Amino acid sequence: MTPEPPQPPLSLERRHTIITVWTLTLLASFLPDILFTELTGSVPTWLVWAKAVVLVIAIGLSFTWQPAKLIRNYLILLLTIIVLERLLYGTISGTPTWQRWLNQITDSFTRSLMSTQILRVGIALCMIAVLFALRYKRRDFFLVRGQLDAPVEPVRWLGVDKPIAWTRFGAILSLAISLGLLVFLFIAGNPSISSLLLVLPYLPWVILFAASNAFGEEMTYRASLLAPLYPAVGKQHSLLLTASLFGVWHFYGVPYGVIGVLMAGLLGWLLGKSMLETRGFFWAWFIHFLQDIFIFGFLAIGSIVPGG
């Protein structure tokens, strides 16, 4: 594990940086979209551009205001995510050419996930290009395997009160989170044996989509943001910031609502911890991949079973 870089005393400037990064992160996150949807029933079309304008102004100020200068690259990457998601999900996915191509896929599960995953991986590749343009190396944004047996920094509330290797902790996390998610999905979905058998032909697609989704989300929402955050605000805040973003982005996911936010947020914190402590991508991708296999498997059941 690479030790956290020494942090200067909590000066007024550093406090301003932390307050600034949290404020801008929450404004640019999916939280405003959730509030508009839940309170008014829809998201105004201007909201995404309002977020972009706020970030552009903050990036401009970063050239003269030191607290914003420390997080400039983070703001650029956050702006990139917002713009790319708007252009790809909001524009390209709705074009007649895109829809005609998708309509050639007969079953709704593969058609829906194919569309989402192509765009998700596309965004991740664009983020990698931006990171290279900002002069980051692959190791800087964790796009390497990393030290799989790096020691885990103790987390008392998880029962880890002394260092253990990530090879052991990662395996325990994979099993524990997978079992917890499976129990939740079975209780919520109550699938029959026959429906589980019906989904078997879709298993190759489920595995492929789970792999691509884990790569896309880990690269876009975690690795690319941890790279500039960690040196600027340290381990604690960088993990909490990326976990918060990851959590609210899953409000309308599976599971739905606050439970989904809390589960995704905790998972995001643990996966971010794995990246920082192993300095690599493997454990975050692998644990995420396992969860997506179960989630996409249940989505497949819902798409092919009448009333599912």
Q: What's the rounded mean pLDDT across residues 261-273? A: 94
For a pLDDT cut of 90, what percent of the chain falls above it? 73
* Inside any domain, residue 5: no
Full-model pTM: 0.91
pLDDT in tens, 74-95: 999 999 999 999 888 878 888 8
Give the tokens for residue 181.
């998610």
> Around 238, how many Cα atoms within 13 Å sit in the side-chain half-sphere?
26
* Inside any domain, residue 60: yes
* Inside any domain, residue 271: yes
Q: What's the rounded mean pLDDT across residues 160-170? A: 91
pLDDT value at 11 more than 70: yes
* Inside any domain, residue 284: yes
pLDDT value at 203 more than 60: yes
pLDDT value at 307 more than 60: no
pLDDT value at 158 more than 90: no
Band of the pLDDT at 218, cuts 50, 70, 90?
very high
Range of the domain at 35: 12-304
The mean pLDDT of the chain is 92
- From the list 144, 122, 125, 136, the residue with the least C-alpha distance to 275 is 144
Separation between Cα atoms, residue 124 and residue 224, nearest integer Å: 9
pLDDT in tens, 290-301: 999 999 999 999
pLDDT at 10: 61
pLDDT at 49: 95
pLDDT at 308: 52
pLDDT at 90: 78
Band of the pLDDT at 146, cuts 50, 70, 90?
very high
Amino acid making up residue 242: T
Separation between Cα atoms, residue 261 and residue 248, nearest integer Å: 5
- From the list 296, 280, 306, 290, the residue with the least C-alpha distance to 148 is 280
* Inside any domain, residue 81: yes
Q: What's the rounded mean pLDDT across residues 58-85? A: 95
Band of the pLDDT at 160, cuts 50, 70, 90?
confident
Q: What's the rounded mean pLDDT across residues 191-204? A: 90
pLDDT at 94: 81
* Inside any domain, residue 7: no
* Inside any domain, residue 6: no
The dihedrals phi and psi of 146, each to the nearest 5 degrees, come to 85, 180
* Inside any domain, residue 155: yes
Q: What's the rounded mean pLDDT across residues 35-50? A: 96
Q: Which helix (H) or strand (E) holds 95?
A: none
Lowest mean pLDDT among 105-109, 115-119, 171-175, 210-214: 105-109
Separation between Cα atoms, residue 117 and residue 295, nearest integer Å: 14
pLDDT at 9: 54
Separation between Cα atoms, residue 224 and residue 189, nearest integer Å: 34
Q: Give residues with Cβ within 8 angstroms of 215, minimum separation 6.
A: 121, 124, 285
Identify which has the larger pLDDT, 149 or 9.
Answer: 149
Q: Give residues with Cβ within 8 angstroms of 239, minimum separation 6.
A: 269, 272, 273, 276
pLDDT at 177: 92
Give the tokens for residue 31.
């939280």
- Structurally, the chain folds into a number of domains equal to 1
Sequential DSSP letters for 115-146: HHHHHHHHHHHHHHHHHHHTT--TTTTT-S--
Sequential DSSP letters for 168-226: HHHHHHHHHHHHHHHHHHHHHH---HHHHHHTGGGHHHHHHHHHHHHHHHHIIIIIHHH
Lowest mean pLDDT among 81-85, 188-192, 237-241, 266-270: 188-192
pLDDT at 6: 53
